[in-house]
């Protein structure tokens, strides 16, 4: 997996800097955040620098529930959702790509959770992100 590009603790990730790293994937960024603003107004986000990973990550939340984590990589961005086993049925019955379902089923466990990561390359990734947000919000 490609490392995040924001590793300088003193360089806050502004949109101008983000878009310089993102290149032509800027339209996917704008589409994702327009979708979130329109369909999920309860969701908020915050950039934080994490010393354990030595990088900036955006934490996206709905109240106290973490929905996903976002990082900028060279030429794109990625988001990672973490789910417990109780989400498995919803994930496997969803419209997610087989690749993402496999990522969950065969993914490394971190305690009681497993991750699903989307590296944004095309518009289908926006649909997958929306599906994952809906699943995450539906879980208690």
Q: What does DSSP assign to residue 111?
A: T
CATH of domain 15-138: 3.90.1150
104 and 91 Cβ atoms separated by less than 8 Å: yes
Provide the β-strand partners of residue 61.
44, 66
**pTM value > 0.85:** yes
Contact 139, 81 (CB under 8 A): no
What would the two tokens of residue 9 be?
Answer: 């603790």
CA atoms within 13 A on the CB side of 50: 13
Q: What is the pLDDT along the chain (140 residues), one digit of tens a residue?
A: 667 788 889 999 999 999 999 989 999 999 999 999 999 999 999 999 999 989 999 999 999 999 999 999 999 999 999 999 999 999 999 999 999 999 999 999 999 999 999 999 999 999 999 999 999 999 97
> Can you give the residue ranges of every domain in the chain?
15-138
From residue 108, alpha-carbon distances to 33, 69, 104, 128 in Å are 28, 17, 8, 20
The angle at the Cα of 38, spanning 82 to 18, to the nearest 5 degrees, equals 65
């Amino acid at each position: 997996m490609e490392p995040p590009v924001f590793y300088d603790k003193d360089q806050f990730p502004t949109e101008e800097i983000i878009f310089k790293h993102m290149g032509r994937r800027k339209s996917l960024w704008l589409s994702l955040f327009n979708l979130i603003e329109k369909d999920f107004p309860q969701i908020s986000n915050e950039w934080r620098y994490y010393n354990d990973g030595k990088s900036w990550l955006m934490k996206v939340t709905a109240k106290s529930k973490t929905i996903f984590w976002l990082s900028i990589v060279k030429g794109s961005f990625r988001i990672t959702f973490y789910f417990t086993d109780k989400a498995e049925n919803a994930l496997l019955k969803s419209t997610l790509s087989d690749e993402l379902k496999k990522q969950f089923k065969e993914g490394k466990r971190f305690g009681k959770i497993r991750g699903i990561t989307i590296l944004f390359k095309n518009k289908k990734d926006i649909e997958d992100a929306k599906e994952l947000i809906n699943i995450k919000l539906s879980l208690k």
